A and B are shown apart, each in its own frame.
Chain A
Amino acid sequence: MRIVHKLIKWAIFSVAVALMPLAFHAIQLAWRGNPFSIGAIIGHGELLLVSVAIAAAAIGDLQGNKHSTLGTVKLLSTGFCFIVLLMSSLFYADISACQLADQVLQESMIKNVSLLCYAVTLVCGGCCVALAEVA
């Protein structure tokens, strides 16, 4: 029960709140009558930034638990989450550099990879948060 409570709290105050800017962007697009699609909202790598923030917070939550006795488990979960964080950061750096160089990027590919990274971050981050409570 404690773990479920913690996950719900994390889902509302970390995940949902982190998506607020994208949600407002979507609303703004709709209001202005601009073409509304997922690609238009996250086609520039915004979701990757959100993924980095969520992953970092989850790592901090697990590592910050002083009373944890699950050494190896903590290390593994932190490691997986860190890989995802690194991946998201590298991709965003790549996308930003291309945009600065005015290069044309495949919006659909960026959208798909962003969604993939975000989904992976949610799973790994959720596991870290749950383990923090178990420990």
Chain B
Amino acid sequence: MRRLLRCVGGGRMISEFITPIVITSLAAVLGSLITLIFTLLKQRRRGELLELRDETHHITMNKDSAGLVEAIFIGERSMLCQMASDLLSKERRSVDIFGLALGWIEYTGLSEELTSAAKRGVNIRILLIHPEFARLREAQEAQNSGSIGQEVLKTLHHLIAIRQLTGGDIQIRLFKGLPCGTIVATSDTMLFQPYAASSLAQNSPVMVFKSGGELFARLYHDMFLQSWNYAELTTSLSPEDDSASAQLCDMESKVLHDDSRTKTANKAMDGDEK
């Protein structure tokens, strides 16, 4: 170092240090090129970059690290049920389901898979729309007034029956708002079907996410966990079956009362128009 400093300003730096200069230059060039090539190969192996923007900051996720497996457009509920059924049959740890009335649990084979899962000791959490708020989606689903609410009550009876039969860990909560979509999430896969504002839910694409991906974690947290844990917007159905049945009876009477009031109001409006 002292030799170097003595040389600076003496015109001898270049001549005395020519070999180290050449070696350092070569090392710098090789090092830079190797670093760049290594990085490019790594990025290429991981696939194309998937750019996502959210309102707080720009996120760039690699297609593989994002964890989106495929997006499927379906026009029938049965395909979603089949996919959900396949997931449930393999699951050993946990199942989370979020949606509107979830009546398709009862009238497809998913009911049996849910029962088997409960018997196997799988933790099951089900979040469905509160019957008093079911009207919010009636127009889009082309349903008669009060029908979604009635379907919710039917599903709740069915789920309580499964819980009584299996003695399994099935937690049920009701969401006092409009669900963002249908979610079926196991420990390693999530199906997500968002609800469009003005068309049937079953016409939206079903997206499949794999755990370990950033999208899975983000959407599972934002779409399911936040709703499940939102104390002001959720009502828990009692884990005791007797109390749960009492809660259901209470809800049924309220829904029936609301239905008759709505029908009376509609008749009055029709009378006024005539």
Interface residues of A (CB under 8 A from B): 3, 67, 70, 73, 76-77, 80-81, 83-84, 87, 90-91, 93-95, 97-98, 101, 103, 105-106, 109-110, 113, 116-117, 120, 123-124, 127-128, 130-131, 134
Contact = CB atoms under 8 A, between A and B. Distances in A.
B29 interface: yes
A67 B40 contact: no
B262 interface: no
A77 B30 CA distance: 11
Contact of A94 (B7, B29, B36): B7
A124 B11 contact: no
Chain B interface size range: 20 to 34
7 contacts: A76-B31, A87-B21, A93-B8, A94-B7, A109-B15, A130-B40, A131-B36
Contacts of B21: 87, 113, 116
Contact of B25 (A3, A87, A103): A87
B31 A110 contact: no
A84 B38 CA distance: 21
B25 A116 contact: yes
Given A81-B32, A83-B24, A98 B11 contact: yes
B14 A134 contact: no
A3 B32 CA distance: 16
Contacts of A95: 11, 14
A67 B13 contact: no
Contacts of A131: 35-36, 39
B72 interface: no
Nearest to A128: B32
Given A87-B21, A94-B9, A130-B36, A124 B15 contact: no
A8 to B, nearest CB: 16
A67 B10 CA distance: 45
A123 B28 CA distance: 9
A interface, by DSSP: helix, strand, loop or mixed? helix
A95 B33 CA distance: 29
B43 interface: yes
B231 interface: no
B197 interface: no
B8 A80 contact: no
Can you list the 6 inter-chain pairs with the closest CB atoms, starting with the nearest?
Answer: A97-B9, A98-B11, A127-B32, A94-B13, A127-B36, A80-B28
B136 to A, nearest CB: 39
B28 A124 contact: yes
B11 A109 contact: no
A123 B14 contact: no
A113 B29 contact: no
A83 B10 CA distance: 21
A83 B36 CA distance: 17
Nearest to A84: B28
A13 B183 CA distance: 51
Contacts of A110: 14
Contact of B32 (A70, A80, A87, A103): A80
B142 interface: no
A94 B14 contact: yes
Given A97-B8, A113-B21, A134 B13 contact: no
A6 to B, nearest CB: 13
Given A124-B29, A127-B32, A98 B10 contact: yes
Given A90-B13, A94-B14, A124 B7 contact: no
Interface in B17-48: 18, 21-22, 24-25, 27-29, 31-33, 35-36, 38-40, 43
Contacts of B40: 3, 130, 134
B10 A120 contact: no
